[in-house]
Chains A and B, each alone.
Chain A
């Protein structure tokens, strides 16, 4: 579409908010102001017009687990959730630990409903014993590296990885979980695990690795990004580290500020996730961390699994939940933050961490790439798993009423979602 105008909305970006129409021409913003007209019109009345959302943390499952999700279906789900870019986690099969697999996933993302970027593995095979060819992957545009799914257990290896990465201008991201402390656990260790007889994972399993990596970031001067923080102790450690000037950033997933370990009482593995759902105090701490800037981003940890895997006994089912289509409304509904702050946490702040801010999350001004998310912050809807675009159905929010819904998503000037319907 060569010319398009988004009419009647309120533009919200890092510079503030104002009532304005947005004129888009040849994939870029061509004008922002009142009373603009264009060949095609998208109605944005009552809506927020924001930079496209950026997900730092999505499991697209391709290559290897195409029955759970593909790049194409995940990108469609992302676009419906307001995202114009997602970062694909490397725990695929084979893992994204070489230029060849990076290329494969980037190629799969060509023409998808949102931009697909890739996080590379820190270690070969995500096995935690040998550095993956980070420079080779960085040369292909990879800016985040992580062994997500597990953390790098060996402190010396993590130190070397940080030192090596510091010359490449990339960021290492950690799934903080000490495997010795977490071993055998399937939910948060506490009141509910004790009652339900399910082996627990203590909050300390996360916190010892956060503390260790803060020390390593200080030692090496290299930045560390903490994935999906879930405990009050971890949030506090990051708060102190930031105050001390240590180069760390952190994200939280929507389920960690909306659900608690009490959900596991149903024994439904749809509530199994890594890190696990924690206590009400942890939920409050994650919310407080998002409110005061300790946590920089909301990231989905979108983790599709086929139904048969989520019908295993709780302690045998794989961890993970869908997230792309529900993250924005959950953040709008549950965080008690002004809409500008919510969009910051989902758009430009994660865009900076992923080094995608040249294209995504930038201010809505003339000349910038037209990657936009248009959502109605007041529209209520009910989550129906069978209506989600993901190939899997494992949302923990089935039947939940949410407020806030994406109306249009625009990727480089092309409407990929119109009136809540995917166009690709």
Chain B
């Protein structure tokens, strides 16, 4: 495999392989000196056209723990400000002889365009509303830490699915591993068509929560109010937010997940985010090991 653009590039077998590799990199991360020479001499560039804290840092940490050289492309100080095109920018970077380019862009599809123009491996770190495959992988890994297998697991994804690249990648990954996924949102925050999506849909979170093994909350953005998608965040929280009261509907061993950054008090109550059943900080911790696994898969052992 050369690029990781979509969860579909991996399929169930590929996801399982990433999980297995992640196990060993979790072990590496637990060492006193959490560093292996696997990608020594390799260069990884992060090309983030959109702001990000956790994903960018997570990839950089992963690359450094594998001993790769890392470069960080910052839009603010680059020729992009001088009007350089996307193609010229990525081909300039590629010409320097890099091995992987990690791309985040506000426009869906940009990683596919980049992959068509460069020799390096391309990793999609989030494209518009479309996909965020490494997030889905770390979500799968985090669930498996607690419940060993996703097969038959009932996962509710609650919130703004329409604008969520996390939701799209999670649906692909969770269902590939055999989970039963229910999307829970008002109709305005669901994709206009769910034809071909192997999911159930509900508009009633209170009905779904008691049956869920995992509840995955999506970030609710404030501008959705002004786009006539919601009357108000207050009404959203009242109908869909995981409040303290609503959290009582969950089974005792149900997991609470969130890709971050959270809007505490909107889609999730502060107290709920901090409950033991919440694995939100595990998601962040596992992100590094999962991204080490992805980099190893694309650049390690025999690639090139």
Contact = CB atoms under 8 A, between A and B. Distances in A.
Contacts of A200: 192
Nearest to B117: A311
Contact of B109 (A189, A194, A314): A314
Interface in A283-313: 308, 311-313
A332 to B, nearest CB: 32
Contacts of B98: none
Contacts of A308: 85, 87
B127 A197 contact: yes
A198 B108 contact: yes
Nearest to B196: A191
B187 interface: no
Q: Which of B105, B109, B130 has the most CB of A within 10 A?
A: B109
A197 B192 contact: no
B195 interface: yes
Interface in A174-200: 189-191, 193-200
Given A191-B195, A191-B196, A197-B131, A311 B109 contact: no
B128 A198 contact: yes
B107 A316 contact: yes
A202 interface: yes
A97 to B, nearest CB: 30
Nearest to B161: A194
Interface in B108-129: 108-110, 112-113, 127-129
Contact of A313 (B110, B165, B194): B110
B85 A311 contact: yes
Which of A195, A197, A202 has the most chain B CB atoms closer than 10 A to its own CB?
A197
B226 interface: no
Contacts of A316: 107
B108 A194 contact: no
A19 to B, nearest CB: 50
Contacts of B110: 267, 313
Contacts of B165: 197
A202 B129 CA distance: 18
Contacts of B109: 196, 198, 267, 313-314
B64 interface: no
B74 to A, nearest CB: 19
B117 to A, nearest CB: 8
A315 interface: yes
Nearest to A314: B109
A202 B192 contact: yes
B189 to A, nearest CB: 12
B128 A194 contact: no
A267 B116 CA distance: 11
B193 A191 contact: yes
A191 B87 CA distance: 29
B260 interface: no
A197 B86 contact: no
A195 B108 CA distance: 11
Nearest to B85: A308
Contacts of B87: 308, 311
B14 interface: no
Interface in A262-281: 266-268
A191 B191 CA distance: 9
Contacts of A194: 191-195, 197
Interface in B181-236: 191-197
Contact of B193 (A190, A199, A314): A190
B168 interface: yes
28 contacts: A189-B192, A189-B193, A190-B192, A190-B195, A191-B195, A191-B196, A193-B191, A194-B197, A195-B168, A196-B108, A196-B109, A197-B130, A198-B109, A198-B129, A198-B130, A199-B129, A267-B109, A268-B113, A308-B85, A311-B86, A312-B85, A312-B86, A313-B105, A313-B108, A313-B109, A313-B113, A314-B107, A315-B108
Given A268-B113, A311-B86, A313-B109, 6 more contacts: A189-B192, A190-B193, A193-B192, A198-B129, A198-B130, A313-B108
Closest 3 CB pairs of A and B: A267-B109, A197-B130, A313-B107
